[in-house]
Chain A
Amino acid sequence: MSTHTHDHDHDHDHTTFQPDIKDPSQEWEFLEIALRELLIEKQILSAREIADEMEAWERKSPEAGARVVARAWCDDGFRQRLLADANSAVAELGVEIESVELIAVENTADLHHMVVCTLCSCYPRGLLGVPPLWYKSFEYRSRAVREPRAVLAEFGTELADSVEVRVLDSTADCRHLVIPARPAGTEGLSEDALAALVGRDSLIGTALARAPHGEA
């Protein structure tokens, strides 16, 4: 790989970032580099802060959402608080969802919710981590509200015709958390063991919670 040449005399800190695996080649990738270098040179942002923010992103994961769901499955008082005021309920578990309303909805044997943001990519990162690329895709945004069962089938999620499907559209001011239905055969499992059954897609509603180990 090529090395950095210091053909400029300012002393800004851009040594925090190693070269990417592939060299940027597109104009918008150059734009990112240009804006970042300018913001650092003008001391509007520091390389340290950007690196810290990138680490903070990596720490966010659907495990937070899974813990919330497992608690709701185990503790009916918490479940009711979660359905009544999700922002306050998740704060009990140390998850702060600020400046947007969080609404939790419950999947059952008869009712299935899935979440989309048709207008952009609104998503509760504090609970689910970084959104998958498909969530932001034009195809998912377009089709989720018109043919949710066909979309679910593309994710391998087949629901009986008797199950009602509701699609929730997120906005910049309102995010949703799906509480998947608790799988059969999980009586007596610990909260941690239950949380391990709750994957990201089940919190969006494109999948179900996993069956416990050994079950079909």
Chain B
Amino acid sequence: MTTNRAISDLGGLPAGPIDTHEHEATLVERRIDAMMMLLRAKPRAFWVTDENRRTIESLTPEFYEGSAYYERWVTAMRALLIEKGVLDEAEIEAKLAEVRARYAAGGAA
């Protein structure tokens, strides 16, 4: 039944109970959302909503199913920033290494 389904095509599949609790977005989640809106909106308009979806839908099934909602968003943002030539892989990796080291040393954002 599930063969040939796109990873995002969930409608009608069996699933467990819905967690109806409210969730207060974290600062990191709100920043991801804000950046996504700004990068997509005029005047920058680096990509459109459909490219966003295409990027998220191209994630591996393991990642798609095992990740948090904004984890998928920020992963898509990274891919699109590289694809559109806004940032490059090397500078992202270098910055990531710096950020990881800062936190390992007990630094703050």
Contacts and interface: CB of A to CB of B under 8 A. Distances in A.
B40 to A, nearest CB: 11
A2 B37 contact: no
Contact of A31 (B30, B75, B108): B75
A136 B67 CA distance: 12
Contact of A4 (B9, B12, B50, B107): B107
A136 B30 CA distance: 15
Nearest to B72: A28
Contacts of A155: 18, 20
Contacts of B107: 2, 4-5
Nearest to B44: A44
Interface string A3-43: 11100000000100101111111101111111111110010
Residue of B14, B15, B70 contacting most chain A CB atoms (<10 Å): B15
Interface range for A: 35 or more
Given A54-B34, A120-B56, A30 B27 contact: no
Interface of B: 8-23, 25-28, 30-35, 37-39, 44, 49-50, 53, 56, 65, 67-71, 74-75, 77-78, 81, 86-87, 91-92, 95-96, 98-100, 103, 106-109
A35 B77 contact: yes
Question: Do most interface residues of chain B lie in helix, strand or loop, or is the interface mixed?
Answer: helix
13 contacts: A14-B109, A22-B26, A34-B99, A36-B31, A38-B87, A45-B38, A50-B35, A54-B33, A57-B30, A118-B9, A138-B10, A138-B65, A154-B18
A1 B108 contact: yes
A23 B11 contact: no
B28 A32 contact: yes
A213 interface: no
Contacts of A2: 106-108
Given A50-B38, A140-B18, A145-B11, A23 B30 contact: no
Given A38-B91, A45-B38, A23 B25 contact: no
A139 interface: yes
Contact of A33 (B53, B71, B99): B99
B103 A30 contact: yes
